[in-house]
Structure 1
Amino acid sequence: MQKSYNRSKANLGKQLERLIDMTHHQYRNKGVADIRKVPTPVQITSNNRGKVTGYTQTGEWVDYVGAHNGKTIVFDAKETKLKSFPLENLQPHQYELLKSWREQGAAAFLIVQFTKLHEEIYLLPFKILQEYWEDAEKGGRKSIPHSAFIERCDLIKSEGGVTLHYLKNIRRCLV
């Protein structure tokens, strides 16, 4: 199925993605971790003398996968301009992938940036995401309030020469 291109969403998450990519470069240079961005799949529709046309497909993966201290890491990066994180920002297949990998012992989580409200970036462990997701499926709240991030999640900051030093809090994603 062809997906239309929405210019208003074209750069959504690009700033956060750049910060995470810089962080991963720093982690690799320090020998701390090797975490890579999963490319968005592209469906090529034609190739006429070097002129390629196509469209991006809905990915079946999350944004990032890698390893740190012998543990697999899998996560997605999300942004919200709201005072809460809408669960609809995470696709069901992304949730299921995080759940499956978490059940196999991986550190699974989201990195969520609140862009307008506070410019804060949090690490949301899968366990907390799962609580809200399952409650929403039962007719409960369809978003995670900012206050829950403040109370239950780790704020990610620059530290030790690393742009977004989220790995220092990764142990919370393994319990």
Structure 2
Amino acid sequence: MRKLYNQSHANRGAGLEKLIDMTNTQYRNKGFADIRKIPTPVKIISNVKGKISGHVTKGELVDYFGVKDGRAIVFDAKETNITTSFPLKNVHEHQFNILKSWHQKGAKAFLLVSFTKRQYETYLLPFEMLEQAWKNYIGDGRKSIPYEDFVMQCDLVKSDKGYVLHFLKSV
């Protein structure tokens, strides 16, 4: 069967990000937390009579920053269509370094990882677990985190208490 659309590399994760954005709006409206998506950086090439052209520049940050109960929160959203593991190549080195830096300074740092072919099961992957896997990744060790590790060691994120995707439930 032929696909009716082609999802570009740039749009991967857009479904998860939409759910996160809706939840973040709910969090702000209820005074629970204030988390904002950082816009993708674009370098403007020209602006002719209001018609702007440009290109996406290399990111230097992660997708989301915010605060809950006086504590900084920083995270990125990732999707994978692999059912058995989450490939660490999906995390860019600059993203890992931002998460690490903020974690070392007391922020709550994590990834939200959605397994799209497992009915969009989404897990909160704490930075500590990512860091351990990353040490193996940059060496000669495993290049992914097994799905079973998410099930056994991470919080499954679901809709709860009126929030679309209550990922801060356990933060």
Q: TM class, shorter-chain normalised?
A: over 0.9
Equivalent residue number for residue 149 of structure 2: 148
Q: Which residue number corresponds to residue 3 of structure 2?
A: none
Query: SS of 1:121's equivalent?
Result: strand
Alignment of 1:43-62 (within 5 A): 43-62=43-62
Could you say what secondary structure the match of 2:117 adopts?
A: coil
The aligned counterpart of 2:169 is: 168
Amino acid at match of 2:136: D
Tell me by how many angstroms 1:59 deviates. Answer: 1.1
TM-score normalised by structure 1 residue count: 0.91
- Give me the whole-angstrom Cα distance separating, in 1, the residues matched to 2:32 and 2:80: 29
Could you list the structure 1 runs, at least 4 aligned residues long, displaced by more than 6 angstroms after superposition. Answer: none
Q: Distance in 2 between matches of 1:139 and 1:118?
A: 32
Give the TM-score normalised by structure 2.
0.93
- Residue number in structure 1 paired with 2:25: 25
> What corresponds to 2:130 in structure 1?
129
After superposition, the Cα gap between the structure-2 partners of 1:51 and 1:63, relative to the gap in structure 1 and judged at 3 Å, is: same
Q: Equivalents in 2 of 1:46, 1:92: separation in Å?
A: 30
Q: Please state if 1:66 is matched with 2:77.
A: no
1:138 positional shift? 1.9
Q: Which moved more, 1:8-17 or 1:59-68?
A: 8-17
- 1:139: how far off? 0.6
- 1:96-128 C-alpha deviation (Å, 9 max, x unpaired): 000000000000000000001342000000000
2-side partners of 1:39 and 1:8: how far apart? Answer: 18
Letter of the 2:61 partner, please give it.
Answer: W
Residue identity matched to 1:29 = N
1:35 is matched with 35
Q: Which amino acid in structure 1 is aligned with residue 164 of structure 2?
A: T
Give the whole-Å Cα distance in 2 for the aligned partners of 1:105 and 1:150.
26
Determine helix, strand or coil for the equivalent of 2:170. Answer: helix
Q: Give the Cα–Cα distance (whole angstroms) in 1 for the partners of residues 59 and 93 of structure 2.
A: 12
Matches within 5 A, 1:80-159: 80-82=80-82, 83-159=84-160
Q: Secondary structure at the match of 2:39?
A: coil
**C-alpha RMSD of matched pairs (Å):** 1.2
Query: Relative to 1, partners in 2 of residues 1:11 and 1:138: Cα closer, same or farther, differing over 3 Å?
Result: closer
Aligned residues between the structures:
165
Mark the runs of 5 or more structure 1 residues left unpaired by the alignment: 1-5, 171-175
Deviations 1:48-97 (A, max 9, x none): 22221100112100000000000000000000000211111010000000
- For the residues of structure 1 that align with 2:68 and 2:8, how far apart are their CA atoms? 35
> Quick check: 40-49 or 120-129, which moved more?
40-49
Mapped to 2, the partners of 1:151 and 1:18 lie a distance apart of 26
Distance 1:146 1:118 in 2: 14
